[in-house]
Chains A and B, each alone.
Chain A
Amino acid sequence: MSTLPRREIALFAGLAVLVALVFASMGAAYGTRMMVEASCYAIIGLGLTIQWGYAGLFNVGVMGFIALAAFVSLFVTYPVNGAFWDSDMPGQLGHALLAIAIGAAAVYAASQTHRLGLPKKWRTLLTLIVLAIAYLWAQSIFDPATAQVERGAGWVGGLGLPVWLGWVAGGAAAGALGWAMGRITLGLRADYMAIATLGISEIVKAFLKNADWLTRGTLTVSPIPWPVPTPQELGFVTSRAAYLSVTALLIVVIFVLLQRAWHSPWGRMMRAIRDNEVSAAAMGKDINRRRLEIFVLGNVLIGIGGAALVTFTSIFDPSAFVPLNHTFLIWVMVILGGAGNNLGTLFGVVLVYIIWTMSEPAALFLFGQIAQWGDALFDWKAPADFATRALQMRVFVIGLTITLVLRFAPNGLLPEKPVKYE
């Protein structure tokens, strides 16, 4: 029997103490809320860690995948909006979508005319012209339809289906977007994927924020249906604990599946590709296919976690998606915990999240003290927005943590352990 993993035990024990401290000082309701959110981040983190740790992919658009999945989940689970379905608006919207489909088909057809013998330059020109016309035409049908939805029914509402289906659909949507992004950027430099994912996340957010007919935009949607009875029914602690049991179960299932996959022949192949790409390519393994699989799988997990997270907050507000909270924070969790090590990622998520949540009151307290001392000692008056500036300290600290960890502990606190063949 191998020696006890002392490091893991020590670190997790320390973590447990930290959690207990939070419960003791802030109360059970606060503590359960924090743990549920951490568990959702854990699912997201697992998705990110397999992308980075298993396939070396740099996804800087996590926020976009979370937002998309949360929206799809919302659309699937939110109660049906009778005002919308009872009118002729679905028909109009359907027409608009059909117009878009026809336009897309026309553009695709134009892009394939080289098969008919059209020279490349003319084909590009033709495709662009068809694209412009199709775009303007589809837009002219689409805009009035959506405007009418906003006027008449407010928004399209949801489908009223079960929550678990919503989460699955959210994961699938995130996976599909990941497939599209991966197809375009895999095989090019890693930086290109970073830029492209950053871009797509901003576009997804902009779309969700402005498409009032679909998401109510800045008017937000709430309450989002829960998989377990809500706090109104069971009280904060009990309902949150129930939610936690759902997400914890998900984590366990995902964790077990990932561990088994990593130790399977498929996992061996992935490790071979990651550790020695040149030889793996020489052996005929289609590297980019495999990495695309991982990328999609990772985004599915990110989607599920994102859907769970937003569902928990019970409000869908596109403006609330911020790269700091929904991309970079998770990166810190993954890098600090140990990328590619699922256990390490879980550790990193919980640790960083506790520090993150506690840092808000801590920063405000600290800056409040500074303002007081400054006034007492130097007669210095703090600027009016000092409180918001205090929170910017957190941004600085997150950035500093990323650079320090990369510099001094690039494998994280719980580095991936080489698989031993007993």
Chain B
Amino acid sequence: MEAGFLASLPAQELVFFINRGLLAGLIIGSVYALGAVGVTLIFGILRFAHFAHGDMMTIGAFVALVCVALFTGGESIAGLPAAFVLMPIAMAVTALAAIGIDRGFYAPLRRAKVRPVVIVMSSIGVMLMMQGLVRLFAGTGTWQLEAGGAKTIYRLPLLGRDVILTQPQALLIGFTALAAIALHFFLTRSRMGKAMRAVSDNPDLARVSGISIDSVVRATWAIAGALAAAAGTLLALDVTLKPDLAFNIILPIFAAAIVGGIGQPYGAMAGGMLVGFTETFAVFNWSVLLRPLQPWLPDFIDIPNRIAFVPTEYKIVVPFFILIAVLIWRPTGIFKGRVVK
């Protein structure tokens, strides 16, 4: 009985769906989730939209690239990509850089009690500075983070076809899951994590209670910077390191943060997955799944070669559409964040 049932399942279509749909969505969703968590923490505690976040991801990836060049010259370490093993260094460097940038550019503006939107403007200035610097030193072309050649590919046989997952992709998904758990424990069990939630809730009361706002701000930048570096490095490992990785990713990340509710880290992760999956399934070629049905359909209905909601060139429309939809119907997001003016 079993063999007959399994044989009747459309194996090729199912595996295609898993590879190009579920896994692809999970992969890009993880990148968005890691970026969106940082953005939402900054939104919640520092109360501004950190436009330079995408470039922080690029810088993280770039530092990883430099580390790889310095330490191993591209070879893998213990069977893992060198960039991944050295990623903690990139995360630490980016965390420190984030704290330094805040101290140099944003803290003075906060002290001068400017309108929040002025800080956003300043972050755009910082974004441009980072962009210029990275391209100045790295050029405007693309770079390979794993110069050692082909990536390790895991194949899981399913119903006669292979579910394909590359090693960098597996590392990305694994890291994101770990980060989510670590973040949860940090926010709910540690003193600084609770203090961050407190400042996000009510910064005036936090001050009155004696909580050191400076420490909380530093911790926020450190976490946001570290996660951004990880997201950038892992994304660059999966595809290549392009200097404009940053600009294209700002919109999906912000959409994810807003969908999940400003200041809600769990919401940001959920939002990242939502944006990732929606984007993937919007450009997904559904005709591959529908083609097996062709024999059962009347002759005049011809399933075209490609049925997708959105052509691949217009992929960017998807996160934008999600953003606009949320702003129109539920600006506080799924998890009820803040819409403070």
Stretch at the interface among B1-9, B23-31, B201-209, B247-255: B247-255
Decide if A399 touches B129 in the complex (CB within 8 Å): yes
Q: Does B335 contact A (CB under 8 A)?
A: no
Cα–Cα distance between A297 and B161 once the two chains are bound (Å): 59
Q: Which residue of A lies closest to B117 (CB)?
A: A190
Judged by DSSP, the binding face of A is helix
Q: Which residue of A lies closest to B101 (CB)?
A: A403
Q: Contact string, A388-399, partner B, CB cutoff 8 A, digits 1/0?
A: 110011111111
Contacts of A252 in B (CB 8 A): none
Q: Does B293 contact A (CB under 8 A)?
A: no
Cα–Cα distance between A323 and B127 once the two chains are bound (Å): 12
Decide if A403 touches B314 in the complex (CB within 8 Å): no
Taking a contact as CB atoms closer than 8 A, the residue among B247, B258, B327 that contacts A323 in the complex is: B247
Known: A198-B251, A385-B141. A206 touches B49 (CB 8 A): no
Q: Does B307 contact A (CB under 8 A)?
A: yes
The A145-198 residues at the B interface (CB cut-off 8 A) are 184-185, 187-192, 194-196, 198
Task: For residue B80, give the distance in angstroms from its CB to the closest CB of chain A.
Answer: 30
Q: Does B118 contact A (CB under 8 A)?
A: yes
Decide if A399 touches B128 in the complex (CB within 8 Å): yes
Q: Does A328 contact B (CB under 8 A)?
A: yes
Contacts of A202 in B (CB 8 A): 251, 316, 320
The A199-237 residues at the B interface (CB cut-off 8 A) are 199-200, 202-203, 206-207, 209-210
Cα–Cα distance between A323 and B131 once the two chains are bound (Å): 13
Decide if A194 touches B49 in the complex (CB within 8 Å): yes
Decide if B140 touches A385 in the complex (CB within 8 Å): yes
Q: Does A402 contact B (CB under 8 A)?
A: yes
Task: For residue B332, give the distance in angstroms from its CB to the closest CB of chain A.
Answer: 10
Task: For residue A186, give the distance in angstroms from its CB to the closest CB of chain B.
Answer: 10
The A111-141 residues at the B interface (CB cut-off 8 A) are 132, 135-136
Q: Does B48 contact A (CB under 8 A)?
A: yes
Q: Which residue of A lies closest to B250 (CB)?
A: A198
Decide if A203 touches B320 in the complex (CB within 8 Å): yes
Q: Does A331 contact B (CB under 8 A)?
A: yes
Decide if A392 touches B132 in the complex (CB within 8 Å): yes
Contacts of A206 in B (CB 8 A): 313-314, 316-317
Decide if B314 touches A207 in the complex (CB within 8 Å): yes
Decide if B323 touches A389 in the complex (CB within 8 Å): no
Decide if B317 touches A203 in the complex (CB within 8 Å): yes
Decide if B132 touches A397 in the complex (CB within 8 Å): yes
Decide if A403 touches B105 in the complex (CB within 8 Å): yes
Q: Does B70 contact A (CB under 8 A)?
A: no
Decide if B327 touches A184 in the complex (CB within 8 Å): yes
Cα–Cα distance between A370 and B208 once the two chains are bound (Å): 54
Decide if B120 touches A199 in the complex (CB within 8 Å): no
Q: Does A109 contact B (CB under 8 A)?
A: no
State the A residues within 8 Å of B (CB).
56, 58, 60, 132, 135-136, 184-185, 187-192, 194-196, 198-200, 202-203, 206-207, 209-210, 323-324, 328, 331, 335, 383, 385, 388-389, 392-403, 406-407, 410
14 A-B Cβ contacts within 8 A? A187-B341, A188-B327, A190-B341, A192-B258, A199-B319, A199-B320, A206-B316, A323-B247, A388-B139, A389-B136, A392-B135, A392-B140, A399-B131, A400-B125
